[in-house]
Structure 1
């Protein structure tokens, strides 16, 4: 049986009387998109911070590919293979799309400088960057400065930079935020193709995208996971419908 790539076990975090995460357990399996959904204030941001390493849990454990993350810093977690779209969201706007992704490749290789040749002509950086850009349908924008991109294209570049780091799991925090219908549809299609390369923990409010993409869904309400399951299970769970979905996303009889 496949083991979880990312295993989140019994995470707890309190802020005074507020129990922001209550024994949260989620497993992200190989070749799946696992969506985390819930209303504003449910504790998603607190949970993301604990996974990323910016906020230590009061108790609980995190495992990535069988290795404990508990004592690791943000940078060390990234080196272990925890990829995040917002980790590289501060794109260098004056540089080209290709150069931004090349910087991620450079970081993966562990070298910040290329004194012996111009960076842009370094095939060891350029070729893997171009491969990722092609995968993200950005090859035609490779030489375009990031400042000239649409919001949706910037989202694609952020994911491309994360992929260039060759993560073992990808944490995407509301990648559809601010996208129109066309941008959402395009990014959804691209994400569908990625799960066979890298499993994804997807935090998202766009429920149409969630129900299309997710193999499994966990629902977080008031810091506690109230349901796990596939799209049909979550759509028709009365507790989930009452707490978050309402009746709009229920399966018709």
Structure 2
């Protein structure tokens, strides 16, 4: 239940919205979760999709939950793609459904959350800085202000492929321009010093060798002025 609580705390989604999430709704880095939001009191046509940011706690909890989920499915021979799966047999459209092939239902998720939270609150009672967790998921999500970005209802694979091809083409163009700029640029003294002999700026070779580097500024040192002691004064050294 740690993964469920962390995801609800980050996203503020309802139990029904949690149960229909699949593995494909998670980003590869587990930093975002795609969710279809259906505001209460509105028609289904006004549903919209959001990309909800996940915190480090959620990412760590999901990294622990996903391998455990796979092991549980292998144990019961399940093939569900839901993020939260039911390990007990269920019924769908009047037909029996075997365990591990259906997502966890909202009522089952609520019961599992309440049972886990009650056990945790009892075990952690009296511990320093421990505050009891809410036994209802609705209480947990109402105090959340998620960081969300609107997204299309269904990912467009063809459009994504076109965008990736465009990015790759622009990258190749920039690489070619950079190589062409290096070939056209005149060699400077600094570049020439790496592959050839350094420019001669002193001695007998300086008159016959021209350097393309800008001349260095000549430093002028002030000449100390010598003043004669006044008449009748004595020098300190005498």
Q: Same fold per TM (> 0.5)?
A: no
Taking structure 1 as the reference length, the TM-score comes to 0.21
Q: Quick one: higher RCO (CA 8 Å, sep 6+), 1 or 2?
A: 1
Taking structure 2 as the reference length, the TM-score comes to 0.22
| Larger radius of gyration between Structure 1 and Structure 2 | 2
